[in-house]
């Protein structure tokens, strides 16, 4: 749920991102995530630029795709790793998923994934170590932060500058989304993200779903330990995962309600559809003549096989 101090800014956030062509132009700070996450977010960023909004995109100087060919202000900060380091950790993570499919939440989050996520989480420390950039952001008077929560840095930025945050995401690891947003998730009916169960679970699957939820409470704080330490350093106070996620003003989900599990959602959770990849090219047109030829060939083959069997 949105913080009580920000209710007047919620309509502005909604107008900036959801109203087609009628909203007054605003100023957004964009904190994206690299890789496939950026492909979909970039399309929204480009549309906002076309509608006259002023955007400042903050990205690390080492990335695969971030900040390329954008017609807006792009601010970079130096990281403590190289592109080779990023590639190495990502390849190790992906290879392990293919060779050894994780059987538990611990094996997924705390083994091969650990090195890659540590690099991703370190970006936020690098951002706030750039005092010149932080001062520029402080003086820019943004209306809101548009962010991908995967590395949680956008959440820290929004809380640090006391700005409403608009989250653009497919989902969130662990249990922080529903609990921080105070959205009910009955475990007997809503399966946890990584289990792959349907919403019609057997009794055994429901028990496993409850156990998995307990595992999240035990494992996830250790997984997010680094990013929470960074957040505590930046905000000069002890910070929990709930402190960061509960600051969110609007959730924009890259999925459709009918394709997701049936579950209660809060009023600030909006399903916008979309997929997490580049927009595909249209399929080539197929003439009716070509289809008719294919049909004749299929009928001929069927007739030949039928006569042979007789």
Q: Give 163-214 pLDDT, tens digit per residue.
A: 999 999 887 878 788 888 888 888 888 888 777 788 788 899 899 889 888 8
Instruction: Check residue 21 and give its pLDDT.
Output: 47
The CA distance from 254 to 250, in Å, is 13
CATH number at residue 91: 3.40.50.2000
Is pLDDT of 106 > 80?
no
Within a domain: 122? yes
| Single pTM value for the model | 0.78
Select the more confidently predicted residue: 171 or 248: 248
To the nearest 10°, report the CA torsion of 174, 176, 182, 183: -40
Host H or E run for residue 257: none
What is the residue whose two structure tokens read 């943004």?
142
- More confident: 249 or 68: 249
DSSP structure class, residue 139: H
Handedness of CA 212, 214, 219, 225 (dihedral sign): positive
User: What CA–CA distance (Å, rounded) separates 127 from 145?
Assistant: 15
Contact by Cβ (8 Å): 30, 163: no
Q: Count structural domains, the chain.
A: 1
Q: Quick one: how far is CA 262 from the chain centroid?
A: 20
CA distance 170 to 261: 13
More confident residue, 132 or 299: 132
309 belongs to a structural domain: no
Which of 273, 255, 257 has its CA nearest to residue 265?
257
Residue 233 located in a structural domain:
yes
Enclosing domain of residue 266: 7-285
In this structure, is residue 296 part of a structural domain?
no
* Residue 294 in domain: no
**Assigned domain for 305 exists:** no
Sorted by sequence, the CB contacts under 8 Å of residue 39 that are 6+ apart come out as 65, 276, 277, 278
Instruction: Let me know if residue 56 belongs to a domain.
Output: yes
Both structure tokens of 268: 């600030």
Let me know if residue 115 belongs to a domain: yes
């Amino acid at each position: 749920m949105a913080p009580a101090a920000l209710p007047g800014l919620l309509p502005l956030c909604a107008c900036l991102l959801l109203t087609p062509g009628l909203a007054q132009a605003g100023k957004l700070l964009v904190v994206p995530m690299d890789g496939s996450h950026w492909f979909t977010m970039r399309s929204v960023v480009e549309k906002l630029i076309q509608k006259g909004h002023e955007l400042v995109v903050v990205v690390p100087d080492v990335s695969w795709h971030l900040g390329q060919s954008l017609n807006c202000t792009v601010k970079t900060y130096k990281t403590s790793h190289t592109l080779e380091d990023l590639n190495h950790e990502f390849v190790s993570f992906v290879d392990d998923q293919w060779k050894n499919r994780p059987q538990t939440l611990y094996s997924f989050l705390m083994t091969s994934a650990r090195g890659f996520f540590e690099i991703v989480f370190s970006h936020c420390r690098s951002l706030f170590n750039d005092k010149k950039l932080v001062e520029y952001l402080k003086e820019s008077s943004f209306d809101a932060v548009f962010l991908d929560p995967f590395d949680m840095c956008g959440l820290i930025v929004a809380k640090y500058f006391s700005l409403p945050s608009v989250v653009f995401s497919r989902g969130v690891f662990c249990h922080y989304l529903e609990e921080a947003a105070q959205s009910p998730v009955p475990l007997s009916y809503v399966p946890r993200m990584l289990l792959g169960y349907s919403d019609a679970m057997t009794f055994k699957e429901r028990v496993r779903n409850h156990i998995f939820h307990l595992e999240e409470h035990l494992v996830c704080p250790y997984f997010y330990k680094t990013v929470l330490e960074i957040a505590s350093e930046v905000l000069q106070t002890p910070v929990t995962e709930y402190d960061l996620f509960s600051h969110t003003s609007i959730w924009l989900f890259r999925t459709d309600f009918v394709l997701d599990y049936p579950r209660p959602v809060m009023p600030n959770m909006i399903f916008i559809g979309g997929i997490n990849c580049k927009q595909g090219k249209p399929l080539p047109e197929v003439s009716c003549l070509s289809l008719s030829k294919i049909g004749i060939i299929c009928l001929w083959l069927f007739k030949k096989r039928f006569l042979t069997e007789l």
